[in-house]
Structure formats: structure tokens, C-alpha cells
Amino acid sequence: MNRREALKYTTITLGAALSATTTAAILQGCTAEPGSDWIPGTLSPTQAEALAAMAETILPATDDSPGARDVHVHRFIDTLLTDWANDETRQEWMEGFQALHQELTGKTKDPAFNKLSAEDQEAALRAINERALSGAPNTATDSFFLELKGQVIGGYFSSKEVGMNILAYDPVPGEYLGCIPVEEVGKAWSLR
């Protein structure tokens, strides 16, 4: 049962008989993010939480700017899987993710990347990043990792918060200046 179906089921069969508090508690067990009402469309709550942790490790929050989790990169990727991908793409992604996840955690049963320490999360992802980019034998997991890394980077930098408030945002430039000191802009332009 996916999250959407679970919600539907809960609402239809139990909703009328339960108090609002009880319903929220039931749903909580099904959502990926405790305290939020977001329900993934394709990922399981465990997968979503693991993905969010990977994305945050790739692009973490710092004093100056939000991290991948803050701008909901994992939700965007779940939306792509649910509403953009066709069945084949979705299945390939899920298989790739599972294989990557297992490799990162060293477990085949109940792996939970997000349960590793921050240091271990970073070390595991760094190792695979270096391997994938070093020109060594390119495994399916390496390829998937680079695909995922692209989705995280793309999802982060195309988010509203980063696009409008972190990068240099200029929806109507009004002019083209071909040569200006980079300090005058400060950051990369958000729109292409």
C-alpha cells in the first residue's frame, strides 16, 4: 500500500469513528517526516527519510544558506518519481536507490542511512563519490549515485528559496551587460 492509498483507506474506513487526534497519530506513523503532514507519493517513509539524509549530506545547511532538507529536495525527487517518471524510470530509480542504500549502509535488511552517524553518512557518500568520479570501473551503483547527485543539486538550486533568496535572482534584467566584475553580482545567477 502506498502512502496515498493508506491515507485514503484511513480516511474512508476509520475517519468518521476516530477523533482528529487519533487520526493524526495514525497518519503520523505513515508520514516520512514526524511533525509534518507531507506524505510521499512513491517512496516509503523510510526511503524518504534516507533520501533526505543523503541529500542533506551532499548539500548541508550552513550558517549562510539552507540545506537540501530545508528546501525539501527529497520531496521534489519524490514528486518527480510520482508525477514525472514513467513506470520504467520509476522502477529503475527504486532499484538503483535500493542498491545504493545497501552499499552505503552495508546492510541488506532494514537499512537506514539516516540512522548512521553524520560522520558515517558523509564518509560513505564521499567514498562512492570519489569512486564514481575517479574513472575506476563504473558500476550501476556509481551511475545511479551520479544521477541522484544531479537530482539533488538540480532540486536544490531550482528551489524557490535558493532561486530567489540565495542565488542572484533577476527575473527582468532589462539590459545585457557583457562584462562586469563578478563582485557586482555576488553569486551565480539563478535563472538561465
Partner 1 sequence: MYINSNGEQEVTYDAIVVGSGISGGWAAKELCEKGLKTLVLERGRNVRHVLDYPTAAQDPWDTKLRNRVPQDEIDKHYSKQSRTGYTIREASKHWFVKDDEHPYSEVKRFDWMRGYHVGGRSLMWGRQSYRLSDLDFEANAKEGIAVDWPIRYADIAPWYDYVERFAGISGQKEGLPQLPDGVFLPPMELNCVEKHVRARMREKFNDRILTIGRTAHLTKADPEIHGNRGSCQFRNRCIRGCPYGAYFSSNSATLPAAEATGNLTLRPDSIVQEVIYDPQTGKASGVRIMDSETRETHEYFSKVIFLCASTLGSTQILMQSKSDAFPTGMGNASGELGHNLMDHHFRCGASAQFDEFDDQYYKGRRPNGIYIPRFRNLDEATRMPDFIRGYGYQGGASRTNWMRGVAELEAGLGAKLKEALMQPGPWTMGLNGFGECLPYHENKIMLNEEVTDKFGMPTLTIDCEFKENEKNMRKDMMAAAAEILEAAGGKEVATYDSGSYPGLGIHEMGTARMGRDRRASVLNEWNAVHDVPNVFVTDGACMTSAACQNPSLTYMALTARAADYAAQQLKQGNL
Rule CB under 8 A: is residue 4 a binding residue for partner 1? no
Closer residue to partner 1 in complex, CB, 32/59: 59
CA-to-CA dists, residue 96 to 89, 139, 147, 154, angstroms: 10, 11, 10, 19
Interface residue with partner 1, options 31, 57, 105, 141 (CB under 8 A):
57
Cα 84 from Cα 78, distance rounded (Å): 10
Residues in CB range of 4: below 8 A, 6 or more apart: 39, 41
Select the span of 6-14, 29-37, 97-105, 171-179 touching partner 1 (CB under 8 A).
Answer: 171-179
Report the first-to-last Cα separation within the chain, whole angstroms: 40
Interface residue with partner 1, options 14, 95, 126, 136 (CB under 8 A):
126
Rule CB under 8 A: is residue 114 a binding residue for partner 1? no
Q: What is the dihedral of CA 46, 52, 57, 60, to 10 degrees?
A: -150
Rule CB under 8 A: is residue 137 a binding residue for partner 1? no
The site that binds partner 1 (CB under 8 A) totals a number of residues, namely 57
Rule CB under 8 A: is residue 119 a binding residue for partner 1? no
C-alpha cell at 100: 545504493
Give the type of residue at 82: T
Rule CB under 8 A: is residue 94 a binding residue for partner 1? no
Cα 46 from Cα 67, distance rounded (Å): 20
Phi, psi of 189 (to 5 degrees): -65, 140
Interface residue with partner 1, options 1, 12, 20, 177 (CB under 8 A):
177
Rule CB under 8 A: is residue 184 a binding residue for partner 1? yes
Residues that bind partner 1 (CB under 8 A): 57-60, 62, 64-65, 76, 79-80, 83-86, 89, 122, 125-126, 129-130, 133-134, 146, 149-150, 153-154, 156-160, 163-164, 166-167, 170-185, 187-189, 191-192
